Amino acid sequence: MNAYVDANALVRHYLDVENRHQLEGFLVDPKSPVSWTVPVTDLLRFEVNNAIERMVFETRNGGAARVSMEMGLVAHSDFEADLTENCFLLRTPLTLTDIETEFDTLARRYTATHGFRTYDVIHVASALKLRCKRFLSFDAKANALAKLVGLKTL
């Protein structure tokens, strides 16, 4: 596995929203069907599915995102199809217990100084545990933590 892609990046990919084009070069190589194998843990899958629904909610309630219910259904369908087909997403068993050591180390070493959120630390700890070399996110804080531990970012 080469790249860990967090939920905000996957959601942008499946909803075809702002900055999606920045991911395409990392996810799909025009010369081959797949560039990276992207691990998807249960927690990441839960977060992606809920984030799609949240974008629909925000659209309905005057938010800046413009995601219809139909767009959300298509995004869910495409995401699940890619998981099922293992085309570039790979369901990867990883429990919180599996990343406990990495999480505790990162939190104790960096959070008091930089203010990282729990999910930032969980995703970077997951990337480290899965021995990923790249970390793809549109979240500045998550990217900052990834860089601190030597992962390549967008």
The predicted pLDDT at position 80 comes to 96
pLDDT-derived band at 63, boundaries 50, 70, 90: confident
* Structural domains in the chain (count): 2
Question: Residues in the chain, how many?
Answer: 154
**DSSP reduced 3-state for 19:** coil
pLDDT at 122 over 80: yes
- In whole angstroms, how far apart are CA 131 and each of 70, 80, 125, 148? 36, 24, 10, 15
Q: Could you read off the pLDDT of 36-56 as tens digits, one per residue?
A: 789 999 999 999 999 999 999
Answer yes or no: do 104 and 147 share one domain. yes
Same domain? 75 vs 126: no
pLDDT one-digit tens code per residue, 65-80: 789 999 999 999 999 9
Whether residue 109 contacts residue 101, with contact meaning beta carbons closer than 8 Å, is answered with no
Are residues 24 and 86 both part of a single domain?
A: yes
Domain that holds residue 49: 3-91
Amino acid (one-letter) located at 3? A
Answer yes or no: do 9 and 74 share one domain.
yes
pLDDT-derived band at 27, boundaries 50, 70, 90 = low
Task: Report whether 135 contacts 153 (CB < 8 A).
Answer: yes
How much is the pLDDT for 64? Answer: 78
Name the residue among 99, 110, 50 with its Cα closest to residue 76.
50
Q: Position of tokens 């990441």? A: 44
Query: Where does 51-104 show beta strands of DSSP type E?
Result: 89-91
**What was the pLDDT predicted at 20?**
62
Do both 87 and 48 map to the same domain? yes
Pair 147, 82 in one domain: no
